[in-house]
A and B are shown apart, each in its own frame.
Chain A
Amino acid sequence: MAERERVSPQMRTAEILDFLRAVPGVFLTNNERDLSQSDYMCRIMPQTTLKVAPYRDATGYFAFEIFGGATVHMDLIKKQINPFEKLRLVRKAMPNTLIQGLCRGKNLFGYRPYPDNVVETTVRLFSQYIDVWRMYDFLNYIPNLVVAANAVKEAGKLLMPCICFSTGEGHTDDFYTKKVEEVLSLLGENIILCIKNHSALGSPARIASLVSSIRKRFPELLIAYHGHNTDGNDLARLVAAVQEGVKIVEVSDHGFGGSYSQAPALTAIQNLHDYGFQTPGLSVAPLLDASDVLRRERRLYEKFTGPFHGFDPTVKRHKLPGGALRIAMEQAENAGLLGRSHELFSELIQVRKELGNLWVVTPGSQILWATAMSNVLNGRYEKPVDDLKRLLLGRYGPFPFEKPPEWIYQKVLESGRTDGKKWNVILAEEGGLQDLADEDFKARRLMLESALKRPATKEELCMYLQFPRDALDFIKFEERFGKTWLLPPEVWFHKGGFADGTRISFADEAGKTHNIDLISTRKTADTVQTSLLVDYHFQTYKTKRGAQQ
């Protein structure tokens, strides 16, 4: 019977939507992507994900979010794994669960808009593995989602457009209901709407009110709730959301989360059951197994948990989402400003208000935080970052509420100009959304292939179109070192040399165990000579000292 109680990747989009409408109860999505981003600076390694994959697959989640947001770029620069390969591995390890990805609309997985043909190609290629595309625009400017959304529909995948939620002036139920109307009008009705509460904002009552308003206006609409437990109160919010008709809520593993990521799945299930809601298709035993494994894994990532642990109820004021908050703290620490964090956050709050009470979500969160940092260090709006200029020019889309005051336009747009143009002239001449010309794939392929000195695959080109330098570096890295995702996280993040006799064991994709034994390390003035036994084959490697820097 369990098979009938859960969706499967083999089901068509319409079947999934019909199933969700027909089956009473609530469904859960495990969001490791966001957990990794919010609690561990995006560092959860594929080996950890794959280690618990069988348990998560057996749990019966609606979906497993493992892709998108900052992960694509981080996969390339910090984990050295091809994002396509990661998805292939996850797909193979979790054959019964929908794989979900988060896309920033026109900004894809980056920080600026991409040409339409890059968006379309990227969505099409990743749709090999992604079943559910959760999609948002940080200005809630729904036209920015159209190109990517159409590509999702064309690929036959499930579209989950988001409305980003925040609080304060202008963020009314009426505003959001109109946004939903816009979503349905521009993207069609065969969707699941996602309320993206990226910064753990609002009380349970506020969320209940929002869901209720949307449901009243669109009673047939399937709604998912994406929340964060930054303030420790998301369980109450998600129960309130479900009480008002939300069908899918996002959770994390209790063995792994516990900070700015999603609320723990098990507690959510217990609460939902107590409130009389069923969770069809869910099995608790594998969920427990997954957390038992993850509890042991989390120590490997402790160094990425940032300077402050635990909950942060002040998120209601600064409104930074989990991942951005973690990185903001790290940047503040690196800049020696950790002791002035109160000042920084106060400035952030001020900047947000001045810039139109925007949603503090990528790339907006980065723009706001970088501006706040710069304001504290250099004086208010004295050294504006380029992306702030773009924001003011309307390159990302229009401001949803009030525009920033003129003095900010003046300071920011006139900053660094050598032509003496005034801000209003600049705005008139250069402002607004730009119609980006399609990328010349042929020319870009030639560039990539001449750098690689071999033909490039479609997937390599796709990564190169989004992150030219980092994608190229990654491809060269992989040619040099092979599939390094096979290495256990404790090796990947190892500090110091390895002691003689250290054994590194891991399984390859075929399940075959491999061993690398450290035999000896010999250091000379210029080189370090490491002798290893690689699957019982003796190898000596010479590394020039300082060569890596």
Chain B
Amino acid sequence: MFKKLLVANRGEIAIRIMRSAQELGIKTVAVYEETDKTSMHIMRADEAVCIGSGPRRDYLNIERIIQAAQMTQAEAIHPGYGFLAENPAFPKQCTEAGLVFVGPPPQVIIDMGSKVIARRVMAEAGIPSIPGTTVLPPGEEGKRLATAFAEKHRFPIMVKAVAGGGGRGIRVAQNMSELERYIEVGRSEAKMAFGNGDVYLEKGLTNPRHIEVQVLADGHGNVIHLGTRNCSIQRRHQKMIEIAPAFLPGDLSDRICETAVRAARACNYLSAGTVEFLLDQDDNYYFLEVNTRIQVEHTVTEVITGIDIVREQLLVAAGSTLSVTQEDVTFRGAAIELRITAEDPKSNFMPNPGMIEIYQSPGGHGTRMDGAVYQGYEIPRFYDSMLCKLTVYGFTWKEAVDRLRRSLDSFLIAGVKTTIPYYKQIVTDPDFINMDFDTSYIETHPKLLDYQEEVPPLGKLASLVAEINACGYNPYS
């Protein structure tokens, strides 16, 4: 096992990775940009290196990160999620610099990062994908191909960037004129966002469920799955709430999980990854993509299996076999994870950076916090607005929902607007409680936004205290 690990990330995931490393006796190195120097992950690491003035560009600077690893004599680098996690150049250059990259090899990232290659690999392995095209050629030929695809599969049709992912670079066309327009717009946007303007088409499913399977693979031929997750509750293709297990009917869960293991083998997977599927209303599932990284929502899987996924990643990276076999993996209860962000739900989830004046997190049995903020922390406006993840466990789904409600009620973040009041609405919504949701949930439940900003019962009285404070005396005494 290596002795020192550099975590090439920030925020909650950096801290999450450091925890597992520290449990294995591995020293940790944090990197940070000057604009992020008050970030909590720096405080949690054994040592830290400032890699530049930032913002955002230095966390993406492979050379500087490798330089930091060499300077601190770190032997391995964990990329976390986002930033360089799915940039194949990163593991490549790490390897060239003699550093262990905690994640899959570059070719896997390249293959799975290309939606088109990924679909081909899966097709070769007999794994069903949503009907789609190859990369659309430019000009009239592309148009012809698109028209033919639309005639065959009918609308809605998704226009996707080949290099997209995580909900980015996707547009849904409902008719031919939209389709033509989105292809053009999608190309130019993809070019700007990902440096690759290639797009392809996929048949759109009506209100599908988003199911994913956590897989683990080592360098000794072992590939296992850790069960399913339901990530259907999304806002504009960004996941908001994730659940494990996905509570699929009959043997569907076993079939999907087995398919996921096959998919991982098909792409020579290594480390932790996620195979994502869309499930239509008739319970047909289609391969969507493979996420070649640790995912935000991995906590729900950890909670119901008891397996530390990051620890397994580190073991695999160090050349060990997985510490568990498929037979060791059991599932117990239900877990729900929420991404609590500094956003104002009532203002179209606009990021709301600012000073965290009060931070009081929930606790108690079955409540897991993966946070990266603290009281007095000024949330920088340059980065992801996620403050923390709240994961709850319940012996049953109902118990998990009850615990989630209780945890949200006792969660206090003051100073910035957060998504907590919005989640409080969701957790009391009958459809959510009855697990009756799909990817259209947020759009079809607009009333969830009709919450009142919480006014405590003594709010009026407090307004007098404020007035005494403002006047310097009580004008009513």
Contacts and interface: CB of A to CB of B under 8 A. Distances in A.
A interacts with B:
yes
B464 to A, nearest CB: 4
A352 to B, nearest CB: 33
A539 B462 contact: yes
Interface residues on A, range: 35 or more
B469 A518 contact: yes
Interface of B is mostly: mixed
B475 to A, nearest CB: 4
Interface string A465-502: 00000000000010011111011000111111110000
B357 interface: yes
Contact of B460 (A78, A79, A480, A549): A480
Interface in B429-477: 454-477
B360 interface: yes
Nearest to A481: B464
Interface string B24-55: 00000000000000000000000000000000
B461 A495 contact: no
A481 B461 contact: yes
B415 A538 contact: yes
A146 B130 CA distance: 95
A539 B456 contact: yes
A484 B357 CA distance: 26
Interface string A77-107: 0111000000000000000000000000000
Contacts of B457: 535
A79 B414 CA distance: 32
Contacts of B476: 80, 477, 481, 484
A530 B456 CA distance: 16
Contacts of B475: 548-549
B468 A494 contact: yes
A153 to B, nearest CB: 38
A537 B456 contact: yes
Contacts of A528: 466, 469-470
Nearest to A537: B456
B412 interface: yes
A446 interface: no
B472 A536 contact: no
A298 B184 CA distance: 80
A520 B472 contact: no
Interface of A is mostly: mixed
A292 to B, nearest CB: 26
B460 A530 contact: no
B465 A498 contact: yes
B465 A78 contact: no
Contact of B464 (A484, A519, A539): A484
B473 A494 contact: yes
A270 interface: no
Nearest to A528: B470
A543 interface: yes
A492 B471 CA distance: 12
A516 B460 CA distance: 12
A543 B358 contact: no
Among A79, A483, A534, which residue has the most Cβ atoms of chain B within 10 A? A534
A506 to B, nearest CB: 9
B456 A497 contact: no
Contacts of B458: 482, 486, 514, 516, 534-535
Contacts of A496: 472-473
Interface of B: 357-358, 360, 412, 414-415, 454-477
Q: What 10 A-B pairs are tightest by C-beta distance, nearest first?
A: A538-B414, A541-B466, A543-B470, A528-B470, A482-B460, A530-B466, A548-B475, A537-B456, A534-B462, A534-B456
5 contacts: A514-B458, A516-B461, A538-B357, A538-B412, A539-B462
Interface of A: 78-80, 477, 480-484, 486-487, 491-498, 504, 514, 516, 518-521, 528, 530-539, 541, 543, 545, 548-549
